[in-house]
Amino acid sequence: MADDCVFCEIVAGRIPADVVHETATVVAFRDLSPQAPLHVLVVPREHAVDAAELADHHPDRLAELVKVARDVAAESGHESYRLVFNTGAEAGQSVFHTHLHVLAGRVLTWPPG
């Protein structure tokens, strides 16, 4: 657990969140600022600053994030969904605890902004 990490606090249950799916190693909860009808963040319980660090230390966890994302989308009735890891401040990362965005429920354009 890292000091001053909001997602570590959510995983620990010290900050409330709308949790939609949990496993022994992963938690999925609704984004505070949804950008689509379904916008969920899937996070590992252990702290890693980004997806690459998680891949270095817990490569199996990356696959679990994707599988939970698929299950969350399916549970909401979505076959199509977008998965995003913003990595680094210039790419839009604002919380430095690995999180996979799951977006669905509207037409998603490309390229992203």
Q: Is 14 left (phi over 0), alpha (psi -120 to 50) or beta?
A: alpha
Pick the closer one to ligand DGP by CB: 39 or 70. Answer: 39
Query: Do the Cβ atoms of 105 and 37 come closer than 8 Å?
Result: yes
- For residue 111, whether the previous peptide bond is cis, meaning omega lies within 30 degrees of 0, is yes
CB of 62 to ligand DGP, least distance (A): 16
What's the min distance (Å) between Cβ of 84 and ligand DGP?
7
- Give the footprint of ligand DGP on this chain (CB under 6 A): 6, 15, 17, 29-33, 41, 86, 92-95
Structure token digits, residue 21:
């799916």
Q: Which is nearer to ligand DGP, 76 or 93 (CB)?
A: 93
Active-site hit among 47, 97, 99, 101: 99
Query: Three-class SS of residue 63?
Result: helix
CB of 110 to ligand DGP, least distance (A): 17
Catalytic annotation present for 99: yes
Residue whose token pair is 């605890």: 97
* Cβ-based nearer residue to ligand DGP, 32 or 74: 32
CB count within 10 Å of CB 40 equals 27
Catalytic residues: 99
